[in-house]
Structure 1
Amino acid sequence: MKRILDWLLPNLCLWCLQPLASTEIQICAHCNAQLPRLSLQQDQLGQCQIASNLADFQLDGLLSVSWYQLPWSRWIVQWKFHRDLAAAQALLHQFKIACQFWRQLGLSADAVAYVPMQRWRRWWRGFNQAEQLAQVAAETLQLPLWHGLQSTQRWHQVGRSGRLRRQHQRRFMLQTEQVPRHLLLIDDVITTGSTCNQLAQLLKAAGCDTIIVLTLAITPHPSMPARPDI
């Protein structure tokens, strides 16, 4: 039966659309080797537009799998807005590989947290992609998953300019009085860093010492090429 289903509905690589021998990662071995990636051991805070554009900057590090570029950007959109399970599986697998590498480098913390989503948006979408990535990070790094952050804002960022994102004070709250001293904060894409920095301000005011952001993709600084060499 499985052979018949595979023949009728073949599993194709998300990038080259050639048949897959295995559906575990949704990407063929050739495309997986060709995926554009950033150096996983290099802190990317100085390579994007985050630190230079934010007041009261509180983030202590940023590690990313790639720039926000094809094919990553396409898969992220398919996952977030079209509930594409194949894209989700591929991205979660790639993030797991990155977390395994970061663990080998000695990356650790007291807990893993994630950027919270507005309740209505979480209900409408059916999932929080940052939370799913955080679950992968927590399992891979063998750290507890901390659910201590909550969004209280209905305003959303999709389609907003970087200037409006930075000017708008998106509100968050803590769901507990105690916060981890050293935290890994997970989001799927970092554009201006405004959201993560606001969370860092809230966390550090409550006693958190260090906050390192882990993400799938970051937007390069405007002075850099649209698709910078990596």
Structure 2
Amino acid sequence: MVHDFKFHGSPRAGMLLVELMLSRCPSQMASALLPVPMYPERAKERGFNQAQWLAERLGDRLDLPVMQAHCIKHLPSQRSLNRRERQQNLAGAFMVDTEMPAHVTIIDDVVTTGATGHALATVLLEQGAKRVDIWAAARTPLQKS
């Protein structure tokens, strides 16, 4: 379902993901949602930003504003990278040009290592947020060592 949504833009799969996310709302909801931004060229290639799509629908359903960040670095695909490579890849990738509310929830479709959420949360904290959570539709299973 996640693959169908992410790579084929299926609104049906997307709405099912929204419903699943709403069935597991965070116990303390933030005052704003912030989707993981996508580099503009990548969004054009894919046709949409799946995190933005999810955040807009969640924001509508929860009556929460959807804030914006920008991806200012063309990132290679994260899919084949390990945690350290992802962290290096994401250094300096995000920018926020507005002050953040005290509590922000990052919205993403899939969390794999958490590197994207960590890099974005660091920027949000620098812009005034006191607490940053991440809420995703799916989590890649952890690798057993």
* Range into which the TM-score falls when normalised by the shorter chain: 0.7 to 0.9
Picking from 178, 183, 186, the partner of 2:104 is 183
Q: Name 1:193's counterpart in structure 2.
A: 114
Please provide the CA RMSD for this pair: 1.9
Question: C-alpha separation between the residues in 1 aligned to 2:5 and 2:92?
Answer: 24
1:192 Cα deviation after fit: 0.8
CA contact (8 A) 2:18 2:58 kept: no
Q: Name 1:56's counterpart in structure 2.
A: none
1:170 Cα deviation after fit: 4.9
Picking from 140, 151, 172, the partner of 2:71 is 151
Question: C-alpha separation between the residues in 2 aligned to 1:159 and 1:116?
Answer: 20
1:173 aligns with 2:95: yes
Question: C-alpha separation between the residues in 1 aligned to 2:31 and 2:22?
Answer: 19
CA contact (8 A) 1:183 1:208 kept: yes
CA contact (8 A) 2:9 2:48 kept: no
- Unmatched segments (≥5 aa) in structure 2: none
TM-score, normalised by the number of residues in structure 2: 0.86
CA contact (8 A) 2:32 2:105 kept: yes
What does the per-residue CA deviation read over 1:11-69, in whole Å, with 9 as the maximum and x for residues that have no partner?
xxxxxxxxxxxxxxxxxxxxxxxxxxxxxxxxxxxxxxxxxxxxxxxxxxxxxxxxxxx
- Decide which moves more: 206-215 or 166-175: 166-175
CA contact (8 A) 2:107 2:136 kept: yes
1:76 aligns with 2:24: no
Change (3 A) 1:110 1:83: closer
CA contact (8 A) 2:14 2:54 kept: no
Size of the aligned set, in residue pairs, is: 143
Question: C-alpha separation between the residues in 1 aligned to 2:56 and 2:22?
Answer: 10
TM-score, normalised by the number of residues in structure 1: 0.57
1:113 Cα deviation after fit: 0.8
1:129 Cα deviation after fit: 0.8
- Largest Rg, 1 or 2: 1
Question: C-alpha separation between the residues in 1 aligned to 2:140 and 2:92?
Answer: 20
The share of aligned pairs that are identical, in percent, is: 33
1:221 aligns with 2:122: no
CA contact (8 A) 1:95 1:133 kept: no
Q: Name 2:123's counterpart in structure 1.
A: 202
Q: Name 2:37's counterpart in structure 1.
A: 116
1:78 Cα deviation after fit: 1.4
Q: Structure 1: which amino acid aligns with 2:97?
A: Q
Secondary structure of the structure 1 residue equivalent to 2:95: strand
